[in-house]
Structure 1
Amino acid sequence: MDWTSAAEIAEKVCTGSWTATAVIDDALARISAQNPRLNAFTLVTAERARQEAAHVDQLVAAGKNPGPLAGVPFAVKNLFDIQGEVTLAGSKINRDLPPATADATLIQRLAAAGAILVGALNMGEYAYDFTGENLHYGPSRNPHDLQRMSGGSSGGSGSAVGGSLVPLALGSDTNGSIRVPSSLCGIFGLKPTYGRLSRGGSFPFCPSLDHVGPMARTVQDLALAYDALQGPDDRDAALAERATEPVGVLSNDLDPHLRIAVLGGYFAQQGTDASREALRRVADALAAQATIEIPEVIAARAAAYVITNAESSNLHLPNLRTRAADYDPDVRDRMLAGALLPATAYLQAQRVRARFQKIVAEIFSQYDILLAPATPMTAPAIGQKTMELGGEEMLVRPHLGLYTQPFSFIGLPVVSVPLQLPDSLPIGVQIIAAPWQEAKALQIARVLEARGFRSAIPQT
């Protein structure tokens, strides 16, 4: 079965050209054939998927509307609760937890739209990772080069969508964990505004920074999923009142009134030729009107680290005291460092956050869209520890998020758009909008897609 998008699957299932059962059988066959290479899935929910597919087919046969994502197979990062399954969150420790008693809110919403869950996806332990490597379950691999990183922490999500095992996946993004794997695996990813999509039934990492969102091979699929995922939910206290603003069908045309700026300075100096060239091509395609710098961006990234370390370590203190040996040492040591931070450091980081929000809000009074690289480089090799950026040797694990952290730090909506330069692995560019302006970011991404910036096709 040859499908290119979730929208195509839903259209063919709704019209009876395909059955949901056939689509799910195809997806399960793809997973069986390719997952041993990619290591994207940690759980395949085959029996559940076949039952749900049969239900969708019954609705179609009865002349009822099965939903806008009818028959679309999807998978979720394994920090989302799946009823009857243990929520691993990439860890060894969580294996001892009882099975979830209900699906996460976002799984429920996709199912209500007709989509069909086929499994849970590999991830960095407790989401504290940019590489896609996992000490306990092995690395999820880049579908464009199996010896390279998928990115993290939603690495299995990037690998599964990038490798066309599923057309749609859910990830989480605290400091860049949707955008980094989207960039390295050559797909589209949406980190929505903080408080837009419910985190109900997902394992937390850093509550004041955690976002959840979709990853897909087309922008319209991203928008379809995003619309289905929206809505109020008592399970997430951070969810905003304005949580539902559907995007609908996107246009291929660029609004000439949109004010678009390229981010220079910090966002140009520390990258590679690939990240700079990708940004230049996107800026040229959109006829960006200016190049600007954001003040205090380095301080913002430092403050993001402090908040991440402090909040994550607080959540894990009981296990850090009793089961420290069961953590990946890299994750454990970062959390232990966070546990030693004085309260004054956390409070100062929050002050930096408030000031940076005001700085960026002023920039958005002058521009509608900001452009920046998603990652400073294409996918490093699995196991690679350092990389050269801006003439300096830097650690890979923290610095793959160089360009993503400042925007999740203040909760902005961002779409990562892929492109593949000649003789290169894929790399992404961030389309950044003001709070609650996901529709603008998605519309710009759709324009770029129409102009050739499409998900990369794996050659491996």
Structure 2
Amino acid sequence: MLALYAVGDVSPVDVTRAVLDRAAAMRDVLNPFVRIDAEDALMAAEISERAWRAGLPTRPLEGIPVSIKDTAMTRGWVLGRGSRLSIGQPAATEDAPAVARLRAAGAVIYACTTTCEGGWKAVTDSPLTGITRNAHDPAVSPGGSSGGAGAAIASGCGPLALGSDGGGSVRVPASFSGIFGMKATFARVPQWPVGPHYSDMSHYGPMTRSVADAALMLSVMEGYDPKDPYSFPPAPPGAFQAGPLPLSGLRIGVAETYGFLPVDPEIRAVFRRSVAIAEQAGAILVPVPDFEDWRPTYRTLWQAGAWQALRRLPADRIGLVDPEFLAEAQKGQTIATGDLVDAQMRRIVYRQEAGRLHGSVDVVLSPTVSVLPFEAGKTVPDASWPDWLEWGGFAFLYNMTGQPAASIPAGFSAGGLPIGIQVAGRLQDDVTVMRVCQSLEGLLTEGRSIPSRVVGRLAA
């Protein structure tokens, strides 16, 4: 789009109108949006169009449509977090740092995407907004909690989306939706205000159709902001635009199960094929030793955080909360102090163990998720899974350690459902993760999805 804008072949206003039309058409089919802000989007697009036509200096995302997940504060919009608790609340008067930076870079912010309540699970439905559906098959879930963003990108409703990830919430919908999504290193993208119950396990990240687009988007959003004292200076100028990193001689850790995680046979087959392709490109494969099952530790931290988020609600408001989310939070109320402290210490151990692992390899490849996309409106594929914390386990390690991790499309199931693989890197080494993903993107051609074809199937 930027290249076409530069030569005048395409106009930001025309692109924005096309995106708004597509978003309106997909709204009732997939339910990816809380709101579509056509008026403000067209005003921003007109400003960008004048800059391009007049030959004025342009910004990195001048005239590019971007959607924002309903967990990021956006000026003029009610911050809903997928919750009925937001009904009647005033609109935000300022942007979260990530949103402000996208806006300052010339992005046309056109829509707010759906999430489950507070981003509490790895699928997307809520009492506030209903069920969000998968662009590849509306009968199944797009994953979550950034499922609205995944459905929007997969169906061609704009090229860029801001997601957030406290337990796979960018990577799971990226895998389920056949797109690219990355959870950056904790605090690379400043986090403000603090999200409920995920505390310092939550990260912002880009969701896009190409890795290069995500790299550009992340380069705009990253860097220190005083609102987030954990945030740190940006990468060197141009670091994210360095292009694919050749895989020849690269040491790639291979973690098919980490020693304890179940994997659907079709996901296993796609993962093994992806690893073989990386090896054919010259990568040195390093088997990853078995890890202790980290899901119980994550469960303790997550449930305690969920209780903290809800425990001060007055009795006349608690009935507005998603009953499933409330039930999980009430489990957090019963966690003993000693068990919580033990979980916090285990998290430190996982950081050390992951640090040691990533000190010996450049990146680690694993499946993104244990299961294929399943029925929309459900939290688990079937009764064999007690809850989503069991099937979403591949993601949790990197939320607890804060390391960068991405999901890249790698293939499809026999039924045509997308499958992604996870690429994780060293703390603060987001650039290597991006560059390795760009190389894999060029090799894993079976995973590519074309939005126009997806939309054509939906229209049919």
Please name the residue that 2:302 is paired with.
308
Q: What is the letter of the counterpart of residue 177 of structure 2?
A: C
Q: Distance in 1 between matches of 2:234 and 2:63?
A: 29
Q: Which deviates the most, 57-66 or 434-443?
A: 57-66
Change (3 A) 1:81 1:387: closer
Please name the residue that 2:409 is paired with.
418
Change (3 A) 1:97 1:340: farther
Q: Distance in 2 between matches of 1:340 and 1:321?
A: 19
Post-superposition shift, 1:115?
1.2
* 1:222 to 2:217 alignment: no
Change (3 A) 1:111 1:386: closer
Post-superposition shift, 1:297?
3.5
* 1:367 to 2:361 alignment: yes
8 Å CA contact 1:313, 1:338 repeated in 2: yes
Structure 2 counterparts to residues 378-417 of structure 1, below 5 A: 378-384=372-378, 386-387=380-381, 393-395=384-386, 397-417=388-408
Q: What is the letter of the counterpart of residue 449 of structure 2?
A: A
* 1:66 to 2:66 alignment: no
Q: Distance in 2 between matches of 1:59 and 1:385?
A: 46
Q: Alpha-carbon deviations, 1:153-184, whole Å to 9, x = none? A: 11101110111111110111001000000000
Q: Alpha-carbon deviations, 1:260-290, whole Å to 9, x = none? A: 1211444675111122112112211211533
* 1:37 to 2:29 alignment: yes
Q: Secondary structure at the match of 1:136?
A: coil
Give the TM-score, by structure 1 length: 0.92
Structure 2 counterparts to residues 25-424 of structure 1, below 5 A: 25-201=17-193, 203-241=195-233, 246-252=238-244, 254-266=246-258, 270-287=262-279, 288-298=283-293, 300-319=294-313, 321-384=315-378, 386-387=380-381, 393-395=384-386, 397-421=388-412, 423=414, 424=416
Q: Alpha-carbon deviations, 1:335-392, whole Å to 9, x = none? A: 111123222222111110111111111111211110110011221012445447xxx9
Q: Alpha-carbon deviations, 1:385-414, whole Å to 9, x = none? A: 5447xxx92135333312111121111101
Please name the residue that 2:426 is paired with.
434
Identity %: 26
Q: Secondary structure at the match of 1:365?
A: helix
8 Å CA contact 1:320, 1:336 repeated in 2: no
8 Å CA contact 1:373, 1:403 repeated in 2: yes
Q: Distance in 1 between matches of 2:364 and 2:49?
A: 43
Q: Distance in 2 between matches of 1:365 and 1:371?
A: 15
Q: Secondary structure at the match of 1:319?
A: coil
Post-superposition shift, 1:230?
1.1
Change (3 A) 1:196 1:49: same
Q: What is the letter of the counterpart of residue 394 of structure 1?
A: W
Post-superposition shift, 1:204?
3.5
Q: Which deviates the most, 96-105 or 348-357?
A: 96-105
Structure 2 counterparts to residues 17-28 of structure 1, below 5 A: 17-28=9-20
Please name the residue that 1:3 is paired with.
none
Q: Distance in 1 between matches of 2:22 and 2:194?
A: 27
Q: Distance in 2 between matches of 1:220 and 1:166?
A: 15
Change (3 A) 1:318 1:133: same
Change (3 A) 1:305 1:242: farther
Post-superposition shift, 1:422?
5.7
Change (3 A) 1:321 1:411: farther
Q: Distance in 1 between matches of 2:236 and 2:228?
A: 14
Change (3 A) 1:44 1:273: same
8 Å CA contact 1:209, 1:411 repeated in 2: yes
Q: What is the letter of the counterpart of residue 414 of structure 1?
A: A
8 Å CA contact 1:265, 1:293 repeated in 2: no
Change (3 A) 1:246 1:177: farther
Q: Distance in 2 between matches of 1:58 and 1:242?
A: 30
Post-superposition shift, 1:201?
4.3
Q: Distance in 2 between matches of 1:27 and 1:161?
A: 11
Post-superposition shift, 1:455?
3.9
Q: What is the letter of the counterpart of residue 175 of structure 1?
A: G
8 Å CA contact 1:127, 1:205 repeated in 2: no
8 Å CA contact 1:105, 1:201 repeated in 2: no
Give the TM-score, by structure 2 length: 0.92
Q: Distance in 2 between matches of 1:257 and 1:116?
A: 41
Aligned residues: 448
Q: Which runs of 5+ in 1 are unaligned?
A: 1-8
Q: Distance in 2 between matches of 1:53 and 1:176?
A: 32
Post-superposition shift, 1:321?
4.6
Post-superposition shift, 1:104?
1.6
Q: Distance in 1 between matches of 2:27 and 2:212?
A: 26
Post-superposition shift, 1:15?
2.6
Q: Secondary structure at the match of 1:446?
A: helix
Please name the residue that 2:6 is paired with.
14
Q: Alpha-carbon deviations, 1:86-136, whole Å to 9, x = none? A: 100000002232210112211111122221000101101111011112232
Q: Distance in 2 between matches of 1:243 and 1:332?
A: 40
Change (3 A) 1:453 1:168: farther
Post-superposition shift, 1:41?
0.5
8 Å CA contact 1:190, 1:414 repeated in 2: yes
Please name the residue that 2:449 is paired with.
456
Change (3 A) 1:235 1:47: same
8 Å CA contact 1:103, 1:201 repeated in 2: no
Q: What is the letter of the counterpart of residue 289 of structure 1?
A: I
Post-superposition shift, 1:58?
1.7
The Cα RMSD (Å) is 2.0
Change (3 A) 1:211 1:10: same
Q: Which deviates the most, 18-27 or 233-242?
A: 233-242
